[in-house]
């Protein structure tokens, strides 16, 4: 029995000499702050920019009101294929077929047309119509041009059958 007690005492004595290790967590705190900083900056860089667009309520019209005559203060843009914009002055009428012009979506194309019309007539409204062959990117580019040229009076309008007929007449 004495040997057992002596062995137990030695064994417990060995255990009491062990040290408890406390690792230094200072580098881990620094790494945590670096990760938080990285994710905050990454989230700040990926914020999307939104173009404000306010749409008026579409009025209810009967068939007689839907055929509008020519309007002096209006310009109609029709977005076509291959980044082309077809435009005419006024509104589409049953009696009068407007003269169709074509330009591109570059700074020397649509932007110059808008700036020239703005300088000549002052206040006018731009009606933007997107054909079936146009891409979403074209609509975004036209809205950017509206912001660049400080055009505040514009509207996104659906294509009418007369617009399709006009494009077909001109082979567009």
Taking only the tens place, the pLDDT of each residue in 70-103 is: 456 788 888 888 888 888 887 776 666 778 888 8
Q: What is the CATH number of the domain that holds 97?
A: 3.30.420
Domain tally, the chain? 1
Residue 16 Cα distances to 9, 20, 71, 92, 157, angstroms: 11, 10, 99, 98, 86
Q: How confident is the model at residue 36 (pLDDT cuts 50, 70, 90)?
A: very high
Both tokens of 23, joined, read: 């690792």
How far apart are the C-alpha atoms of 172 and 169, rounded to whole Å? 8
3-state secondary structure of 14: helix
Higher pLDDT, 33 or 43: 33
Structural domain contains residue 18: no
Q: What pLDDT digit, counting tens, does each position of 98-121 carry?
A: 788 888 888 888 888 888 888 887
Q: Half-sphere exposure (CA, 13 Å, Cβ side) for 27?
A: 2
Domain that holds residue 118: 68-169
Higher pLDDT, 92 or 62: 92
Q: How confident is the model at residue 34 (pLDDT cuts 50, 70, 90)?
A: very high
Structural domain contains residue 155: yes
Structural domain contains residue 133: yes
Structural domain contains residue 82: yes
pLDDT at residue 68, rounded to an integer: 45
Structural domain contains residue 162: yes
pTM: 0.57
State how far Cα 154 lies from the chain centre. Answer: 17
Both tokens of 34, joined, read: 């670096």
Structural domain contains residue 126: yes
Average confidence score pLDDT of the chain: 77
Q: How confident is the model at residue 168 (pLDDT cuts 50, 70, 90)?
A: confident
How large is the average pLDDT for residues 140-163?
Answer: 85
pLDDT at residue 58, rounded to an integer: 65
């Amino acid at each position: 029995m004495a040997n057992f007690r002596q062995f137990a005492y030695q064994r417990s004595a060995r255990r009491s000499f062990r040290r408890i290790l406390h690792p230094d967590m200072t580098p881990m705190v620094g790494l945590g702050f670096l990760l938080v900083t990285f994710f905050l900056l990454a989230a700040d860089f990926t914020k999307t920019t939104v173009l404000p667009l306010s749409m008026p309520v579409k009025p209810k019209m009967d068939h007689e009101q839907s055929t509008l005559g020519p309007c002096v203060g209006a310009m109609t843009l029709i977005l076509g294929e291959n980044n082309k914009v077809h435009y005419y002055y006024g509104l589409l009428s049953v009696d009068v077929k407007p003269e169709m012009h074509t330009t591109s979506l570059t700074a020397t194309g649509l932007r110059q047309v808008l700036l020239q019309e703005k300088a000549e007539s002052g206040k006018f409204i731009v009606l933007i119509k997107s054909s079936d062959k146009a891409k979403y990117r074209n609509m975004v580019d036209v809205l950017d041009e509206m912001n660049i040229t400080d055009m505040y009076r514009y509207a996104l309008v659906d294509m009418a059958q007369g617009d399709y007929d006009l494009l077909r007449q001109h082979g567009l």
